[in-house]
Structure 1
Amino acid sequence: MKIYDTLSGQVVDLVPVKEGEIKIYLCGPTVYNLLHIGNARPIIIFDAFRRFLEYIGYKVTLVQNFTDIDDKIIEQAKKENLPFEEVGKRYIIEYWRDMTALKVRAFNFHPKTTNYVNEIISYIKELEEKGYAYKAENGDVYFEVGKFSRYGELSHRKIEDMKVGVRVEVSEYKKNPLDFALWKASKEGEPFWESPWGKGRPGWHIECSVMSSEILGDTFDIHAGGNDLIFPHHENERAQAIAKSGKDFAKYWMHNGMIRMAQDKMSKSLGNVWYLRDLLKKFDSDVLKIFILSKHYRIPIDVSEELLRNQEVSVNRIKESLNDAEAFFNGKVPYPREMNCFKEEEKYLISSLSNDFDTPSVVARIFELSRDLNKALNSRDEETIKNNYYIIRNIYGSVLGVFETNEQIQKNNVELNQLMEIILNVRSALREEKLYNLSDYIRDNLSKIGIEIKDTPEGTKWS
C-alpha cells in the first residue's frame, strides 16, 4: 500500500505504527453552518479509504472532530441571540442528517472540543513548563515558534521566508508574528472556562493535537484533511504535539485537493458555497460520490451543475443496468457459480487503490463492467449478468460506498440498534443497583462520540 505523504513530499509505503492496525485523524467541521460539498469531499474520500483498508484486512480507527467553540460560532450565536452551545448542537445534528443522506458510515469517534477543555488546559500547562508557551499581556497564551527548530517541515517552508497572511492572526502581543494562540482570553460577553491564565477558551490548533493524542495516542498513522489546512493549522498542530510529547505525532499526512467553483476555492467565508443539503435534493448521493471519486483525491475539482448533470446520466445508466439485472432474474440475482472472475477483479481493485488510492481507475472499471452487463442483458448471457452484477455491487461498490442495496445500508443500522439495546440494558441494570457513577460514565462517554442518552418516564431513549 502506497500513499503520498505531504511531510516527505513523496509517495511512500504505508507501514503502520502497529502491525495490522491503521489509526487516522481527519480534521472535521467548525459547526456554525451547514456542510458544503467542499466539506463533504474528505468525508467521502476517507469513508472509502477506511472501507478499503478494512477490505484488505486492517483494523481501522477513524476519528473526525467537531470544533464547537470558535470565533465563527460565537459570532453566529450573537446574530441569533442564542447560547453558543445551542448553535454547535444544532449544526452537529444537521451534520448527521447530511451524512445519513450522503450514505456514509459514521466514523469511530466524533469528539467535540468542549468535551476536552480540561485536557487542553493540562496540555498547554505542559508546553509552558517545557518553555514552548508564554502568556502575553492581553491574557492570551501563545506557542513560541522560534523555540521549535522543526517548524516548517510539513509545509516545506523556512521560518525566515514565512509572512503573515491568511489564517495567521496578527497581534501586537506576540513575540513573533508566526506565534499562534493556544489559549484565548475571553472578551466581554464571550463564553469562557477558568484556567491558570484567567478566563478564556482554547485556540483553534490546540484542540486537534489534544483530541487526536487522547483517542489515538501520541503517535498514530495518518493525519488527514484538505490541503488548505497544511499551513498554518497542521503545521501548528504538529509543532505543539512534538514539542509536548517529544514523539513524531502523525507518521504520515494525507491531504485532499479543494473543490472549486469558477476556479476559486469554495468556502463559506468567500460566500461561494454549494451546500451539500441543496445538492442532495437535486442529485442522488451516488452521483456526488462518483463525481468526487472519479478524480484523484489530491487534485482540485471544478464543480458546476452541468458537470454534475453529466455525471448523473452515466451513474443512472449503471443503476438501470443493475435494476435490469434484478428484473431479469425476477427480483433476486443468483450468486455466480464461478469465482475466478472475482479474483481477477479483486486484484485490479487492490492494485489500483494500493497505488496512492487511485479511485479514478476503479470508477472507470465500474463503467466498463456496466457496459458489459448491458451487452450480457441483450444477449441473455446469464453467467456474465450474475458476475458483473455482483462485482459492481459487492466488490467495487462495497469498497467505494456506492450502489449499495437497501439491505446493505439497513444492515449497518440494525447492528447499531442491537448494540445500543445491549448498552442501554446494561445501564438500566446499573441504575437499579444504584451504581449511578458507572451509569453516568456510560452516558457521558456516549455523548463524547455524538450519542445522546435521555432518561424519560417512558424509559431510556437514545439519538
Structure 2
Amino acid sequence: MLVYNTKTHAKEELTPVKPGKIRMYVCGPTVYDQIHIGNGRTFLAFDVIRRYLIYKGYQVTFAQNLTDVDDKIINRANEEGRTAAEVAAEYSQAFIEQMDRLGVLAPDIRPRATQEIGAMVEMIQGLIEQGHAYEAGNGDVYFSVRSCPSYGDVSGRNIDDLQVGARIEENSDKRDPLDFALWKAAKPGEPSWESPWGEGRPGWHTECSAMVHRYLGTPIDIHGGGSDLVFPHHENEAAQACSCWHEPLANVWMHSGMLRVDGEKMSKSLGNFYTLKEVLDQYPADAVRLLMLQTHYRSPLDFSYERLDGMVGTLERLKNTVRNLRWAADNAAGAGAPDERAKELAAAIDETQATFVSSMDDDFNTSSALAAIFSLATKANTYLDETGTEVCASVALRAADTLVELLDVLGVESVRPSEDPGLPRELVALAAETCGYEGDDVDGAVSALIEARAEARKNKDWGRADAIRDGISALGLVVEDTAAGTRIIAQEG
C-alpha cells in the first residue's frame, strides 16, 4: 500500500511501527461554531482512509482531539456574554452530531484539550529542562525554534527564509521572532490553569503534541489534517515532539486538499460559505460523501449544489441497481445456470474488486475506486435488461453484494438492503375491490393487482389501469416495471 507523505513529498510503502497495527491521529476542530463543508471534507477523507485500513485487516487505533480552549472560543464567548466553557460544550456536541450524520466513525479516543493540561505542562517542563523552551518575564513560555535542527522538515520550509520579513511583536518577550507560545499567561476574564509559570493556558500547537504522546505514544504511524495545517501547526507539533522525546511525532504526515465553491475560495464575504449542517439539512449524507469522494483526497475539491444534485440521482441509481439485482435473483425463472452473459458479469465483478483494491492501495484513490463501482453498476443493469427473468441468481446476488460491500468500505451505507417489513395487508382489500380478488394472502393480492393492471393496459383501458396504480400509490407503494417483470414496492423516502 502506497501512501503520500507530505514530509518526503513522495508516495511511500505503508510500514507500521508494529506489524498489523496502525496508530492514527487527525487534528479535530476548534469548537467555537458549526464546522464548514471544507472541514467536513477533511474529516470524511480520513474516515475513509481509516475504514479502508480496517478493511485491509489492520487493527487501527484512531484518535482525534477537540480544541476546547482557544482565542476564537474566548472571543465568541465574550461576544455572546457566555463562558468559554459553555461555547465549547455547545459546539463540541454540534461537531459530534454532524460527524454522526455524515457517517464518520467516532474516534477510539477523543481527548479534550481542557482535560489534558497536566500532560501539556509536563511536556513544556521537559522542553525547558532540555534547553528547547524558555520562560519569558510575563509568565509566557516559548519554544526556541532554532534549537531544533529538524525544524522545517514537515513543511519543507527553510528556517532562514522564514526569518525574512519576520518581526517581534510589540512588547513581546520572545528571543526570536520565529519562536511560538507553549504557554500563555492568564488574562483577566479568560479561562486559566495553574502551572509552574503561573496561571495560564496552553498554546494551540502544544495541545496536539502532548495528547498524541499520551494516548498513542510516538512515533505514530499516521498524522493527518487539512493542508492548511502543514505550517505552522504540524511543523510546530513535530518540532516539540522531536525535541522533547527525541523521536518523530509521526512517520507519515497526510493532508487533504482545500475545498472551493463553484471554483472560488469559500468565504463569507463572497456569500459562498456553507456549514456542514446546512448542507446535511438539505441533502442525504451519502450523496455528500459520493461528491467528495469523486475527487482524490489530496486534490482541491470543487463543491457546488449542482454537482450535489447530480450525486443524489447517482445514489438513487445505485440503490435501485442493488434492489433490482436482488429482486431479479429472488424471482429468477428456473435454476439460472450461468450462461455467457452471466459469466461476463462475473468477470466484471472480479475486475471491479481488483480495481477497487489497487486504486485504494495507491494512496487511497477514491476517484478511481468509485469509477470501478459505477462501471459495475452499469454492467449489472445491462445484464438485467438483456436477461429479464432468465438471470443467473447467484451471479446477480454476487453483483449486488459486491456493490454493497465496496460502497460500505467508502462509508456509503444507504445501498445496504434494508430489512423488508413486508407489504401492507391493505393490498388484500384493494385487490378485492378493484379486481375481484377473493383470497386473504398479500402475495396473492399483489399478483392479482399486477395481472389486472397488465390486462387493462393490454386492452387500452387506461382508466382502469390508472385506478389500480392510484390505489397502490395511496398505500405508499409504487408499481415498478422492469425487464424482469412488474413489482410493487415501497416508495423511496
TM-score range, shorter chain: 0.7 to 0.9
Aligned residue identity for 2:369: V
Distance 1:169 1:212 in 2: 30
Map of 2:290 onto structure 1: 290
Distance, in Å, in 2 between the alignment partners of 1:153 and 1:8 is 8
The aligned residue for residue 313 of structure 2 is: 313
* Structure 2 residue 19 is matched with structure 1 residue 12: no
Q: Give 1:265 deviation, angstroms.
A: 4.0
Over 3 Å counting, the alpha-carbon distance change for 1:211 and 1:269 in structure 2 is farther
Contact 1:27 1:208 in 2 (8 A): yes
Q: Does the 8 Å CA contact 1:38/1:267 hold for their aligned counterparts? A: no
Q: Is the 8 A contact 2:134 2:144 kept in 1?
A: yes
Cα 1:15–1:270 change in 2 (3 A) is farther
Q: Match for residue 351 of structure 1?
A: 358
> In structure 2, what is the Cα distance between the partners aligned to 1:320 and 1:82?
49
Which stretches in structure 1 are left out of the alignment for 5+ residues? 410-463
Match of 1:375 among 363, 373, 382: 382
Measured at CA, do residues 26 and 393 of structure 1 come closer, stay the same or move farther in structure 2, by a change above 3 Å? same
| TM-score (normalised: structure 1) | 0.81
1:391 to 395, 402, 416: 402
| CA offset digits 1:151-179 (Å, max 9, x no partner) | 1111111111115899x994532222211
| Match of residue 363, structure 1, among 349, 370, 385 | 370
Equivalent-residue separation in structure 2 for 1:15 and 1:267 (angstroms):
39
Deviation at 1:36, TM superposition (A): 1.3
SS at 1:124 equivalent: helix
Distance 1:259 1:17 in 2: 32
- The aligned residue for residue 252 of structure 1 is 252
Q: Which amino acid aligns with 1:361?
A: S
Q: Does structure 1 residue 401 correspond to structure 2 residue 408?
A: no
Distance in structure 2 (CA, Å) of the matches to 1:169 and 1:269:
31
Match of 1:123 in 2: 123
Check the 8 A contact 2:227/2:257 in 1, yes or no.
Answer: yes
Q: Distance in 1 between matches of 2:163 and 2:273?
A: 28
Contact 1:23 1:221 in 2 (8 A): yes
Whether the 8 Å CA contact 1:29–1:67 is kept in 2: the answer is yes
1:91 partner SS: helix
Q: In 1, Cα distance between the equivalents of 2:138 and 2:269?
A: 27
Please say if residues 319 and 403 of structure 1, whose CA atoms lie closer than 8 Å, have aligned partners that are also in contact.
no
Q: Secondary structure at the match of 1:162?
A: helix
Aligned counterparts of 2:207 and 2:65: Cα–Cα separation in 1:
9
Pick closer, same or farther for the CA change 1:275–1:193 going to 2, 3 Å. same
1:322-337 to structure 2, matched below 5 A, reads 322-328=322-328
Query: Could you say which structure has the larger radius of gyration?
Result: 2
Q: Secondary structure at the match of 1:24?
A: strand
The RMSD of aligned alpha carbons is 2.7
Distance 1:377 1:342, change over 3 A: closer
**2-structure distance, mates of 1:165, 1:52:** 44
The structure-2 alpha-carbon separation of the partners of 1:2 and 1:325, relative to structure 1 and needing over 3 Å to count, comes to: same
Contact kept, 8 Å, 1:318 with 1:370, in 2: the verdict is yes
Contact 1:376 1:382 in 2 (8 A): no
Query: Paired residue for 1:114?
Result: 114
What one-letter code is carried by the residue in structure 2 that aligns with 1:160? D
Residues 154, 230 of structure 2: 8 Å contact kept: yes
Residues 121-146 of structure 1, C-alpha deviations (whole Å, 9 max, x = no match) = 11101101111111223321110101
Quote how far apart the aligned CAs of 1:373 are: 2.2
Change (3 A) 1:195 1:316: same
Relative to structure 1, the CA distance from residue 397 to residue 406 in structure 2 (aligned partners, 3 Å threshold; closer, same or farther) is closer
Q: Distance in 1 between matches of 2:148 and 2:141?
A: 16
Cα gap change, 1:138 to 1:265, in 2 (>3 Å): farther
Equivalent AA in structure 2 for residue 398 of structure 1 = D
| Number of corresponding residues | 405
1:399 maps to amino acid = V
Counterpart in the other structure of 2:134: 134
Residue identity opposite 1:124 in structure 2: I
User: Contact 1:64 / 1:110 at 8 angstroms: preserved in 2?
Assistant: yes
The 8 Å contact of residues 325 and 399 in structure 2, kept in 1 or not, is answered as no
Q: 1:165 to 1:329 in 2, by over 3 A?
A: farther
1:192/1:201 contact within 8 Å kept: yes
| Mapped partners of 1:83, 1:27: distance in 2 | 24
Looking at structure 2, the residues matched to 398 and 373 of structure 1 have their Cα atoms a distance apart, in angstroms, of 18
CA distance in 2, matches of 1:235, 1:263: 29
User: 1:105, 1:385 → 2: CA distance?
Assistant: 30
TM-score, L = length of structure 2? 0.77
Q: Secondary structure at the match of 1:299?
A: coil
Aligned pairs for 1:69-218 (under 5 A) are 69-162=69-162, 170=169, 172-218=172-218
Amino acid across the alignment from 1:349? F
Report the Cα distance in structure 2 between the residues aligned to 1:311 and 1:342, rounded to whole angstroms: 23
* Unmatched 5+ stretches in structure 2: 420-493
Q: Deviations over 1:350-399 (max 9, x none)?
A: 211111111111111111111122223323334443222111101x1121
Paired letter, 1:71: D
Q: Conserved in 1, the CA contact under 8 Å of 2:168 and 2:174?
A: no
How far apart are the structure 2 equivalents of 1:50 and 1:308? 24
Deviation of the 1:95 alpha carbon: 1.4
Classify the secondary structure of the residue corresponding to 1:134.
strand
The structure whose RCO (Cα within 8 Å, separation 6+) is larger is: 1
Taking every aligned residue pair, what percent have the same amino acid on both sides? 42
Q: Does the 8 Å CA contact 1:31/1:67 hold for their aligned counterparts?
A: yes
Q: Is the 8 A contact 2:318 2:415 kept in 1?
A: no
| Residue identity matched to 1:390 | D
Alignment partners' CA distance in 2, 1:196 and 1:272: 46
Code of the aligned partner of 1:393: V
Aligned to 1:437: none
8 A Cα contact 2:326 2:396, kept in partner = no
| Most deviating of 105-114 and 228-237 | 105-114
Name 1:441's counterpart in structure 2. Answer: none
Matches within 5 A, 1:58-73: 58-73=58-73
Q: Aligned partners of 1:165, 1:327: CA distance in 2, in Å? A: 68
Greater mean deviation of Cα atoms: 380-389 or 60-69: 380-389
* Residue aligned with 1:176, SS: coil
Aligned match of 2:487: none
